[in-house]
Amino acid sequence: MGLLSFLGQNLGTIGATAAIHAWLSVEGTLLGAVVAIPFGLWSYRLPGVRKVAAAIAETIQTIPSLALLAILMIWFGMGDTTLVVALFLYALMPMLHNTVEGLLSVDPQYVDVAQGLGLSRAQVMWRVQVPLAAPIILTGLRVALVTSIGIATVGVFIGAQGLGSIIYQGMQVQSAPQILAGALPAALMAIVIDGILGFFAGRLRRASGRRQEAAMASPLRGQRKEMVSLEERIQG
């Protein structure tokens, strides 16, 4: 049975599973954002804290996904909860890294001017720094979300729902159409989300003017930034 006929016959199940997959990915990523962004806002000017947090988050990032899921399973049991916890942990690094990078990339002149105008610390943060850092923070979200979608497929082995179960079953009956029926929605979701959030990041960047471009203009800095976003675009 070809891919199209498989899709045709199972559209309901595939659609429902894809929706659950998306929901779990979003849930885990947003939880990571909710923790990492405030932490980044607080710690970006504290190099000691910043470096330790970055080291921890990066270390977590390198842990193989099935290994982390299996370890978390010991405490959280089989099921969706474990997957969401893992996705939360994996989202920390991109979110924290980009929040800090974003804030640090804001030209100090703007902060000075704002403070000179009599704005409080908090006001400066919310009305100047965060909006200017927003494109980079949004890019972090995008990277984290795309990564989550990929990692969530491994969730099948710890009893979580999602497209992984379609892929795994497809492997067991050795049906390429079924494998693809699970893989392509995941790939598509990743591409679409990447596109949408990329678009919004671009809009924000243009809205906040050339300042970001200037900051990133030096070839090596630009290279490193590309490195980082390329890195995280690739998901496991």
Partner 1 sequence: MKSASRGRHGIWAVAAGAVATLVLVAGCGAGPSTGASSDTGTIVIGSKNFTENEILAQMFADLVQANTKMTVQLKLDMGGTLVAFNALKSGQIDVYPDYTGTGYVEILKQPKPKSEQAMYDYVQHQYQAKWHLEWLKPFGFNDTYALAIPDALAQKDGIKTISELVHYAPGLTAGIDAECQNRPDCMLGLTKVYDLHFGKILTMDHSLVYEAMASGKIQVTDAYTTDGGLEKYHLAVLQDDKHFFPAYFAAPVIRQDFAKAHPEVVQILNKLAGQISNSEMEHLDYEVDISKQTIPAVAKQFLVQHGLLKS
Partner 2 sequence: MNGIWPDIVAHLPLVWADLLQHVEIVAISVAFGCLVAVPVGILLTRHTAVAEVVITITGLIQTVPSLALLALVLPILGVGLVPSITALALYALLPILRNTYVGVRGVPRETVDCARAMGMSGLQALWRVELPLAIPVIVAGVRLSTIYLISWAVLAALIGGGGLGVLILEGLATYDFGLVLAGAVPAALLAIAAGFGLGWLQRALTPKGIRSVASGRGA
Choose among 36, 55, 42: nearest CA to 98: 36
Binding of partner 2 by 206 (CB under 8 A): no
CA trace torsion 28, 14, 200, 58 (10° rounding): 30
Q: Considering only residues 120, 123, 172, 218, which one is a binding residue for partner 1 as defined by CB under 8 A? A: 172
Binding of partner 1 by 30 (CB under 8 A): yes
Choose among 106, 104, 98: nearest CA to 57: 98
Q: Considering only residues 7, 31, 35, 78, which one is a binding residue for partner 1 as defined by CB under 8 A? A: 78
Binding of partner 2 by 195 (CB under 8 A): no
Torsion sign over Cα 183, 149, 17, 76: positive
Q: Write b or e for each residue in 154-163: b if 16 or more Cβ atoms lie within 10 A of its Cβ, otherwise e.
A: bbbbbbbbbb
Q: Measured from the CB of residue 150, what is the shortest distance to partner 1 in angstroms? A: 16
Q: Measured from the CB of residue 59, what is the shortest distance to partner 1 in angstroms? A: 28
Residues in touch with partner 1 (CB under 8 A): 15-16, 19-20, 22-24, 26-27, 30, 77-81, 131, 134, 138, 156-159, 161, 165, 168-169, 171-175, 193, 196, 200, 203-204, 207-208
